Structure 1
Amino acid sequence: MSYTRVGVVTGANKGIGLAIVRNLALQYPKSPLNNGPLLIYLTARDNTKGEEALRSLQQDSQLTKAKALTSDGGLAEIKYHTLDIADSKSIASFAEYLQNTHGDGVDFIINNAGIAMQGFDANVVKTTLGCNYYGTLEASNTFLPRLKETGRLVNLGSMSGHLNSQFSDAVREDFLASKTVPDVTKLMERFTSAVEAGNEKKQGWPSAEYAVSKSGVIGMTRAVAAAEKAKGSKVLINSCCPGWVQTDMTKGKGAKTPDEGAKTPVMLALEDIGGRSGLFWQHERPIDW
């Protein structure tokens, strides 16, 4: 089967990622970008969990009722592919697959994959930033050339990465002053060094590796968008917060269901957003970082 649109969702075997895939299939028929069949790659680092997630969607009552999938006469087909954004070889392998299989490019990438660990020490910080910041950065840089001229890149940040009172004024100002990816990366390195020295709070950082990693994602996404715009690229690049969602990561707590949390990233992938790029979104609208 041939597809007129192709999209990728990372970390999609459960929670928000799985809900994003479901809602892409449900919302696509009403999207102004709908111009024919859509192929969605559900990606995950664990093959067994990824295949189980795919089967769950193929049997999903919402999708069946809406006749959203091609097997029911709809427009969307979902396929599974292995991808671990914390593994450079995995990122490169999937990028090569996309190039070989979809030589004309893909339409959107939604980088949802991320981790939240228990405890706080230098190793936890290194592992968390390695996936959430450096992994998302590498995936963004590697997949950008695979996007079509009018493609979209959506990176999931978090309100935990909002530049609120958990950061000192000086650190907050440094984040806001960052213009390039190296600027943001230096901030991640500063935080890591501060934790290793045991004085992150004295230097104005919270003892919260997940929050800092998501601040990095928001700042990095803004910087990547600016760099692409300077090249004359029409690709729209944004970050967003899905909200406080009931997932394993929040231990079932939260004010939103996964489907509600999927609304903003799905909108950024499928709706007319007026050409806006480099922004941080929540509740389907851009907000101040």
Structure 2
Amino acid sequence: MQEPTKTTPVAVVTGANRGIGKAVAAQLARDGYRTVLAVRDPARGRAAARELPAQATVEQLDVADADSVARFARRLRDRYGRVDVLVNNAAVNYDTWQDPLGADLDLVRDTLDVNAIGAWRVSQALAPLMRRHSPGRRIVNVSSESGSLTDMHAATPAYAMSKAALNALTRLLAAQLAPDGILVNSVCPGWVATDMGGPTAPRTPAQGAASVLWAVRIPDDGPTGGFFRDGQPLPW
């Protein structure tokens, strides 16, 4: 594998050993990014990376563990000295079996800790490495229309709450990072045939990844603090 240089753009994709994350990582590697698959299980990450271009590498990361996030950020700082793109994709618990009044609140807490606060932890840790470089710096939060307050129902309460919180994080980060030229957007990939979405979903991982890649590739004068699917705005 070619050794990274300090001028090679670096992309980080959390939860990248399968599904949408893997598809996003594959395309970013093809686009020339030194792409970091940030995964809880390095063995699964390495298995995924073997199917990707040589620019892909694997780092252990548990977004729900503050120490793990801190170690991850130090490794990226020491090895690359920069991060240009962060895709917060890691997510758990599409809780179709629950309703709001009967929900297991411990599961809700765990879901929030990964899907929303986990993305917050990683963004905090990597922002110093993103602020050093320009242009083309992006944070893309992989959200869901389940988190839209406009269209929210009683289904998947833990997941829906976590994605609504992730959308709020998008707004907060976009406002703070705008002076640094870092664009921050939420993206709904649609209903995708992954382990979480199930085999009957109408979209492939590559089709779901296309919305995420759109948010990575928008020009520097493009939108920030928005919520999109297929490049089109969604209601909050």
The TM tier, using the shorter chain, reads: 0.7 to 0.9
Check 1:250–1:5 CA distance in 2 against 1; reply closer, same or farther (3 A cut): same
| Structure 2 SS opposite 1:254 | coil
Which AA in structure 1 matches 2:38? T
Identity of aligned residues (%): 35
| Mapped pair 1:115 → 2:110 | no
| Mapped pair 1:133 → 2:128 | no
Q: Are 1:263 and 1:284, in contact at CA under 8 Å, matched by a contact in 2? A: no
Give the structure 1 partner of residue 129 of structure 2: 146
Give the structure 2 partner of residue 85 of structure 1: 63
Q: Deviations over 1:118-151 (max 9, x none)?
A: 4531111111111111111111121111112431
Larger radius of gyration: 1
Aligned length: 223
Q: Please, which of 151, 165, 168 is the counterpart of residue 216 of structure 1?
A: 165
Give the structure 1 partner of residue 177 of structure 2: 228
Give the structure 2 partner of residue 12 of structure 1: 16
Distance 2:205 2:94 in 1: 20
Unmatched segments (≥5 aa) in structure 2: 98-102
Segments ≥4 residues shifted beyond 4 Å: none
Q: Are 1:246 and 1:255, in contact at CA under 8 Å, matched by a contact in 2? A: yes
Check 1:207–1:286 CA distance in 2 against 1; reply closer, same or farther (3 A cut): closer
Q: Please, which of 17, 27, 36 is the counterpart of residue 23 of structure 1?
A: 27
Given the two structures, how large is their TM-score scaled by the length of structure 1? 0.72
Name the one with the larger helix percent.
1
Q: Are 1:110 and 1:156, in contact at CA under 8 Å, matched by a contact in 2? A: yes
Q: Please, which of 183, 190, 206 is the counterpart of residue 259 of structure 1?
A: 206
Q: Are 2:36 and 2:56, in contact at CA under 8 Å, matched by a contact in 1? A: yes
Give the structure 2 partner of residue 186 of structure 1: none
Give the structure 1 partner of residue 100 of structure 2: none
| Mapped pair 1:162 → 2:162 | no
User: Offset of 1:273 from its aligned partner?
Assistant: 6.2
| Structure 2 SS opposite 1:43 | strand
Distance 2:126 2:87 in 1: 11
Distance 1:233 1:272 in 2: 15
| Structure 2 SS opposite 1:242 | coil
Q: Are 2:227 and 2:234, in contact at CA under 8 Å, matched by a contact in 1? A: yes
RMSD of equivalent CA atoms? 1.9
1:51-62 to structure 2, matched below 5 A, reads: 51-57=46-52
Distance 2:41 2:187 in 1: 25
Which AA in structure 1 matches 2:106? N
Q: Deviations over 1:23-77 (max 9, x none)?
A: 2234x2xxxxxxxx521111110112111111132xxxxxxxxxxx45xxxxxx1
Unmatched segments (≥5 aa) in structure 1: 29-36, 58-68, 71-76, 168-204
User: Offset of 1:111 from its aligned partner?
Assistant: 0.7
Give the structure 2 partner of residue 46 of structure 1: 41
